[in-house]
Structure 1
Amino acid sequence: MGTADDTAEDHGGHHLPADEDWPRGFGEASWWPFVSAAGAAGLYVGAALFLLGRGDVEIVSPMAGPAVFIASTGLFLGGLFGWLYHAFIADFWTRGTDEHSADTLRFAMVLFLGTEIATFGAGFIYYFFIRVGTWAPGELPHLLSSLVLANTAILVVSSFTFHFAEVALRKGNRRRFLGLLSATALLGIVFIGGQILEYYTFIVEEGFTLTSGIFASAFFGLTGLHGLHVTLGAVLIGIVLVRAFAGQYSAERHTSVSTVSMYWHFVDVVWLFLVVVLYVGAVANV
């Protein structure tokens, strides 16, 4: 029998990386993407239920939306972890370095980022239609604050630390790689904390909420979507960081580092676009 057949027999008749993802007889099918998709769909359901519970007539319980949203977030992250675990982590030590497989995974990340561009693009198109129409957003909070500027600087710096962490790994400087990757994870957490603080200021102190008008819906929709992506990126960096301290990366084996780096640079660029369009653009010509 061939090598592929021998590998399949060693893993219960399945081929890596999905050897444990589906009952016997389903080949390489994986149920983890379906779990992630169900969780992602639940996020939209939770947002819809939140709005239905906040109207003049409460169609559903006000707690239904947040409950579904939190449960869906857990489902999405759990599915994503299972998916990434079997793609990158399971049997890491026994797998050889296959540059063809690495290129395939990087190309898959490029395709994924293409879908993300379409997702954010839809939100920006919605906002642009609002902006070119009769622009009467009402009373706006102080959008372009020092907190936003500091948060922007933090995210930009985190992109540089991640880039140079990857450079250090490729050069075999493991200590520098671990230090810069740890700094990237910390900066990501600080950014998320800054956005939570901004939301608290807007919602609690200034009364600017999702239902405060058409601009508010676009603002919280886009910044919330980006915040979700940054949180996901922080989780991915955390997984990479744990694996890095376990010694699972080298100058020859770093596919998941480079793919997560691509994702993190993407959310950085999106945030800069958000700041220009939403924060700076919203107050222009008001």
Structure 2
Amino acid sequence: MTETLEKYFVPEPSKYPIFGSIALLLFGGGAVMWLNDVGAGPWVLALGLAVLIYMLFGWFGQVVHESESGRYGKRVDTSFRWSMGWFIFSEVMFFAAFFGALFYARVLSVPALSSGDNEALLWQGFTSAWPTAGPNAADSFTPMGAWGIPALNTLILLTSGATITWAHYGLLKDKRGQFKLGLLLTILLGAIFLGFQIYEYLHAYGDLNLRLDSGIYGSTFYLLTGFHGLHVTIGAIMLTVMLGRALAGHFTAEHHFAFEATAWYWHFVDVVWLMLFIVVYWL
């Protein structure tokens, strides 16, 4: 007896990859032109961003239409799950590189530079104390403390992890109101987090003299927290799209991987922030 295998859906050739290539070319070229004070640079960058947004809306919209029309089976669903898993793994390695840079500077290079005759190569009075303020007293800064806004933002993100899980349980139990409310609360908490982070940056620059060029501490601080803020922004946009689809009646208890993938991403953002809070702010 021959077992009938489920057919794997293969979409028709798409125009959107070429639009993505054009968008990245314009975006990158415009950024380079802008950095080199070429007058058309900002406009080329803006055009690239506009083309990229067009591609995202068109391509994702096509995928949503295919999903809602019932063309995706279990094999396609498995492919989506593997793809999202590998994407999150790539994000893990992305942040691992930055955490590695912080570890190398704080634990290895700064202590090594303060030993032996290395002081003569740097400046008088250099020590391995973290964070190092640099050779000029005028460039001294106050490190960002853990308690206050960072601790509050930690509570906010942990709460947002609970609200998105609550929303997921609502969808699984076919409680659409709970599902939508949980999504909305998660989006609002993400927006509050970003608002506090903007205030934190203003406070760091204006009151603590902590800038991007404040030595290796300033570089790693803004690199890690800034990229995390970017990921929170992307996650909030993804959640907003999920809320729009929920309001349109999309997703069922059996078929909702787009929402599930967004929840994975949001939990990943939560875990990264916990590591940031401990390593960058607290220790």
Tell me the equivalent position of 1:253. 255
* Mapping for residues 15-94 of structure 1, pairs under 5 Å: 15-16=10-11, 19=12, 21-22=14-15, 30-31=17-18, 34=21, 42=28, 60-61=36-37, 79-87=55-63, 89-94=64-69
For structure 1, which segment, 29-38 or 264-273, has the greater mean C-alpha deviation from structure 2 after superposition? 29-38
Tell me the equivalent position of 2:157. 155
Distance 1:137 1:64 in 2: 40
Q: 1:231 aligns with which of 233, 238, 241?
A: 233
* Mapping for residues 200-219 of structure 1, pairs under 5 Å: 200-219=202-221
Q: 2:98 aligns with which of 108, 123, 136?
A: 123
> Aligned-pair distance for 1:20?
6.7
The answer to whether 1:104 aligns with 2:46 is no
Alpha-carbon RMSD across the aligned residues, in angstroms, is 3.4
> Aligned-pair distance for 1:33?
5.7
Consecutive unaligned residues of structure 2, counting only runs of 5 or more, are: 1-5, 111-127, 134-140
TM, length-normalised to structure 2: 0.76
SS of structure 1 residue aligned to 2:105: helix
The answer to whether the Cα contact below 8 Å between 2:142 and 2:208 also exists between their aligned partners in 1 is no
* CA spacing shift, 1:121–1:75, aligned 2, 3 Å: farther
Distance 1:68 1:215 in 2: 34
The AA in structure 1 aligned to 2:14 is D
The answer to whether the Cα contact below 8 Å between 1:97 and 1:252 also exists between their aligned partners in 2 is no
Bigger Rg over Cα: 2
> Aligned-pair distance for 1:70?
7.3
TM, length-normalised to structure 1: 0.75
Distance 2:208 2:42 in 1: 21
The answer to whether the Cα contact below 8 Å between 2:238 and 2:262 also exists between their aligned partners in 1 is yes
SS of structure 1 residue aligned to 2:154: helix
The answer to whether 1:240 aligns with 2:204 is no
Q: Deviations over 1:17-67 (max 9, x none)?
A: xx4732xxxxxx83466468669x849x95x999xx7xxxxxx44999998
The answer to whether 1:113 aligns with 2:88 is yes
Q: Deviations over 1:155-211 (max 9, x none)?
A: 111111111211110111111111111111111111111111111111233332111
* CA spacing shift, 1:190–1:77, aligned 2, 3 Å: farther
> Aligned-pair distance for 1:107?
1.3
Distance 2:25 2:246 in 1: 30
The AA in structure 2 aligned to 1:161 is T
Q: 1:186 aligns with which of 167, 185, 188?
A: 188
Distance 1:246 1:97 in 2: 19
In the alignment of these two chains, the number of paired residues is: 251
Distance 1:72 1:127 in 2: 33
Distance 1:63 1:126 in 2: 35
The answer to whether the Cα contact below 8 Å between 1:178 and 1:244 also exists between their aligned partners in 2 is yes
Tell me the equivalent position of 1:137. 132
Q: Percent identity between the aligned chains?
A: 32
SS of structure 1 residue aligned to 2:249: coil
Distance 1:95 1:221 in 2: 42
Distance 1:69 1:195 in 2: 26
The answer to whether the Cα contact below 8 Å between 1:168 and 1:176 also exists between their aligned partners in 2 is yes
Tell me the equivalent position of 1:280. 282
